[in-house]
Amino acid sequence: MKISNRRSRGGRRTSAAVALSAVLALTATACGDDGSGTGGDKGAEGSGKGKIVFWDNNGGVRTDIWKEIIADFEKANPDIKVEYVGIPSTDYQSKVDTAIQGGGLPDVGGVGAAMLAGIAAQNALEPLDERVAGSSLNGKLNEDMVASLKAAGGGDGKLYSVPTSANNGVLYYRTDLFKKAGLDEPTTWDKFYEAAEKLTDAGKNEFGYTIRGGSGSIAQALDAMYGQSGITSFWDSSGAKTTVNDPKNVAALEKYAALYKKVTPAADLNNDFTKMVAQWDSGTIGMLNHNLGSYQDHVKALGTDKFRGIPQPVGSAGKRVQVSNPVDGMGLFKSSKNKEAAWKFIEFATSHEENSKFNETAGQVPSNNDAAKDAWISEAEPTKLAAAALTDGSTTIVQLPYYLPDWNTISKADNEPNFQKVLNGDLTAKEFLDTMAGQLNEAQAEWTERNG
């Protein structure tokens, strides 16, 4: 089966989701400007008072903690009111792209590394370097997270999003089920596959693993591929061609995708992370690959004595290889008519106390250096283990090309449906990865030409 991997050329391209999602556009009256804002609107500093609008890029999951932070902010700044709009992560990119084209952007929004380049390329974000340097955040933000967001911004070296947190891949497993089955902790890929097989009894609705087949599936698949293949760079030595379709990665994806419906529920085909996490928390599934962000959900559902969250398995060579998790952050939209108040909110939300509060709830690594020293981090085992794995030399990170404006489109709209075809056996792993490689190589060539 052949799939076209041709992509239209051109300087700035918006997500294909814009056209598909136009009907989902938020009205201008729900937003922080007058509805005339576009990617080229310079906005205004404003009075530093009044109303601002904040779009949460993980609405529903993080709504409660953001409302708590907003309440703290409004208490400290009684002249500013923050209107909270929670948007599910699966819809966020299309809503931002639609608002850029048609007007109605918020003042502030969640802007993580994965989508940063695409938004910045449309001239929709305010550079924040000078604001950070002149604020209480100067010298307080994790340098690696700042560098990651600068690199993801598209190549001009500017900071378009203030980091809030860093994530990391985690393998969660049910300690009670492993003990009952006499299985070792799944610290290697061989032990992972052994456990997935042994813990499955489909007749009793018991499965060894839950695989992500819906929204967000590509990053998880890439993590499994590179983790098994041991390939340590996303690009070859020339820097022009991706390694995603290297034969070792193809073989790794074939093995991983073969788990579907063999040791996983059939419903996994359409699972995004919320469905996958809920299914794992309420059922008898042995293992789940997600990240630090779902730790507190598991604690609420299972307590702390029925599961563990450990770093991703190591490969046959005894080394752990995993793909980078995008740093999350907050961006100030250029069309805002009240940038002074919007910046105050960003500065407040990433301060020591509020950043610590947010990340303790999310189970993620704080961006504020003072928050990263707080006691709760050593008490949240997955966060503690993840931080150690990233600093003790045991882990090699394959940096995903967040700097490509097309990255989010390629890794979501263009290829999530094709990955479902792989799971269903309608497309081979090689066809899937060859198609994705063609898109990536073209996007890399265009980026190199523009920034060379």
- Give the tens place of pLDDT for each residue, 69-104: 999 999 999 999 999 999 998 899 899 999 999 999
Q: Which two tokens stand for residue 107?
A: 């003042």
Q: Is this model's pTM higher than 0.75 or not?
A: yes
Residue 429 CB burial class (10 angstroms; 0-12, 13-18, ≥19): buried
**How many Å apart are CA 227 and CA 125, to the nearest integer?**
34
Provide the phi-psi class of 206: left if phi over 0, else alpha when psi is between -120 and 50, else beta: beta
pLDDT tens column, 377-436: 888 899 888 878 877 888 999 999 999 999 989 999 999 999 999 999 999 999 999 999
**Are the CB atoms for 372 and 364 separated by under 8 Å?**
no
pLDDT confidence of residue 269: 97
Q: How confident is the model at residue 287 (pLDDT cuts 50, 70, 90)?
A: very high
The tens digit of pLDDT for each residue in 41-77 reads: 789 999 999 999 999 999 998 999 999 999 999 999 9
For residue 52, how many C-alpha atoms fall within 13 Å in the half-sphere facing its CB? 34
Token pair 């290829």 in the structure block, residue: 415
348-361 confidence digits (pLDDT tens) = 999 999 999 999 99
User: Rounded to whole angstroms, how far apart are CA atoms 62 and 189?
Assistant: 32
pLDDT on residue 137? 98
pLDDT over threshold 60, residue 35: no
Which two structure tokens, joined as six digits, stand for 73? Answer: 């902010």
Report residue 7's pLDDT band, with 50, 70 and 90 as the boundaries: very low
With beta carbons less than 8 A apart as the criterion, state whether 213 and 420 touch: yes
Quick one: average pLDDT of 286-299? 91
Q: What is the pLDDT of residue 146?
A: 94
Residue 286, sorted as left (phi over 0), alpha (psi -120 to 50) or beta, turns out to be alpha
Within 8 A by CB and 6+ apart from 82, the residues are 51, 52, 53, 54, 70, 73, 74, 345
CA gyration radius, the chain: 22
Helix segments in 136-216, DSSP class H? 143-152, 175-181, 189-198
DSSP letters for 338-402: -HHHHHHHHHHHTSHHHHHHHHHHHT-EESBTTGGGSTHHHHSHHHHHHHHHHHSS-EEEE---T
Whole-angstrom distance, CA of residue 215 vs CA of residue 276: 11
Q: pLDDT by residue (tens digit) across 133-161?
A: 999 999 999 998 999 899 999 778 999 99
Residue 300: enclosing H or E segment and its boundaries?
A: helix 295-302
Mean pLDDT score of the chain: 89
CA distances from 222 to 322, 378, 419 (A): 8, 29, 11
Amino acid present at 196: A
